[in-house]
């Protein structure tokens, strides 16, 4: 049983969590969304500066919530990548400082492993397992045959699905981040616009850049012709294709790899259509489906602590010379330069 303090700062949330024997004692998240909203996306330099401002406050708040002191901890965990390099550095420096001052092991954690292990707050992971990792920066299908054993079987060749939602929302004049407003508009719309389905029927890989460009071109053409852009219908047409690709490839992978369980992970797993369709396809299929609660679909440190618990049990830690890696691959998460 371990007491872990975990830090997450890979994008626009500064987060600190503390667990004790798997129980979540503190879960502090300072989101920067309202600051980045006006730019229509995350401004990396501003995000790094805000992490600097927020990290000490989040640490203090988490310790207060947990009733623990740094001295009581068994390990300090931190997201090492992937993410925005400047942002990752802030979390890493904070984690290293605590680890050095209090002589605690430092556990580097892969951000997407965190999103996957967030599901352990819902239920036990059962292998072989298919992880559908859909976020603002990543779109991947990952097979796990055991704990901490990740094989990427498919990934996006260009944009991530969440990034595509955000860009499409911007061209439709909807707020950032675009996932929730598109999801809401799609509920009132009909699939009337014809959009391409990149890599449809071709293995487990994804492509979202062509779909994004198709929506942008369509919107510009309609504007030039002075024709009405039906936002609800456009959102529905786009969502059917964007989520349809995930569903198609998930079903194929689940059957091909004969998995026992499917878990959703990442910000886009909050999507209501994806959740509904996953239930439709997998309830009563003999394959168990775990969908994370909304609170752990967005970035948080509770999920980082979950991965760290497993790594701590293995005795896995890193030297204090370790650096961050904005492009760290999940199937190489035990490898780091120092």
List interacting residues with ligand KG4 (CB under 6 A): 11, 135-137, 162, 165-166, 177-180, 183, 266-268, 270-271, 298-299
What single string gives the DSSP state of each residue in 198-222?
TTTTSTT-B--HHHHHHHHHHHHHH
Compute the distance between CA of residue 261 and CA of residue 288 in angstroms, rounded to an integer: 5
Q: How many CB atoms lie within 10 A of CB 336?
A: 17
Closer of 166 and 325 to ligand KG4 (Cβ): 166
We find the least distance from the C-beta atom of residue 270 to ligand KG4, in angstroms, to be 4
Closer of 86 and 162 to ligand KG4 (Cβ): 162
Contacts of 183 (CB under 8 A, 6+ apart): 235, 239, 270, 271, 272, 273
DSSP code of residue 311: H
We find the least distance from the C-beta atom of residue 11 to ligand KG4, in angstroms, to be 5
Closer of 300 and 317 to ligand KG4 (Cβ): 300
We find the least distance from the C-beta atom of residue 41 to ligand KG4, in angstroms, to be 9
We find the least distance from the C-beta atom of residue 288 to ligand KG4, in angstroms, to be 23
We find the least distance from the C-beta atom of residue 120 to ligand KG4, in angstroms, to be 17
What single string gives the DSSP state of each residue in 20-46?
ETTEEEEEEEEE-HHHHGGGTS--HHH
Closer of 178 and 189 to ligand KG4 (Cβ): 178
Compute the distance between CA of residue 212 and CA of residue 272 in angstroms, rounded to an integer: 20
We find the least distance from the C-beta atom of residue 110 to ligand KG4, in angstroms, to be 12
Closer of 104 and 306 to ligand KG4 (Cβ): 306
Closer of 198 and 267 to ligand KG4 (Cβ): 267
Nearest to 217 by CA among 191, 193, 243: 193
Phi (first) and psi of residue 189, to 5 degrees: -110, 175
């Amino acid at each position: 049983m371990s007491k872990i303090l975990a830090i997450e700062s890979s994008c626009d949330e500064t987060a600190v969590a503390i667990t004790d024997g798997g129980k979540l004692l503190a879960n502090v998240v300072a989101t920067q969304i309202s600051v980045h909203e006006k730019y229509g996306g995350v401004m990396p330099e501003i995000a790094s500066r805000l992490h600097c401002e927020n990290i000490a406050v989040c640490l203090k708040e988490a310790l207060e919530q947990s009733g623990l002191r740094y001295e009581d901890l068994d390990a300090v965990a931190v997201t090492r990548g992937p993410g925005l390099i400047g942002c990752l550095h802030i979390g890493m420096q904070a984690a290293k400082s605590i680890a050095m001052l209090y002589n605690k092991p430092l556990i580097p954690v892969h951000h997407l492993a965190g999103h996957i292990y967030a599901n352990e707050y819902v239920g036990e992971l059962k292998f072989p397992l298919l992880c559908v990792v859909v976020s603002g920066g990543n779109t991947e299908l990952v097979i796990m045959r055991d704990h901490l054993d990740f094989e990427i079987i498919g990934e996006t060749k260009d944009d991530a699905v969440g990034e595509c939602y955000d860009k499409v929302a911007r061209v439709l004049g909807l707020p950032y981040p675009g996932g929730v407003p598109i999801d809401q508009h799609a509920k009132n719309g009909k699939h009337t616009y014809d959009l391409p389905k990149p890599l449809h029927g071709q293995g487990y890989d994804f492509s979202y850049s062509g779909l994004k460009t198709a929506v942008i071109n369509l919107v510009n053409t309609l504007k030039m012709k002075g024709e009405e852009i039906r936002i609800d219908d456009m959102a529905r047409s786009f969502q059917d294709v964007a989520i349809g690709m995930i569903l198609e490839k998930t079903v194929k992978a689940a059957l091909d790899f004969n998995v026992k369980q499917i878990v959703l992970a990442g910000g886009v797993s909050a999507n209501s259509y994806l959740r509904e369709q996953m239930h439709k396809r997998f309830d009563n299929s003999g394959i168990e489906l775990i969908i994370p609660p909304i609170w752990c679909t967005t970035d948080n440190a509770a999920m980082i602590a979950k991965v760290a618990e497993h790594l701590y049990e293995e005795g896995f830690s890193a030297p204090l010379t370790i650096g961050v890696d904005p492009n760290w691959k999940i199937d190489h998460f035990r490898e780091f330069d120092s």
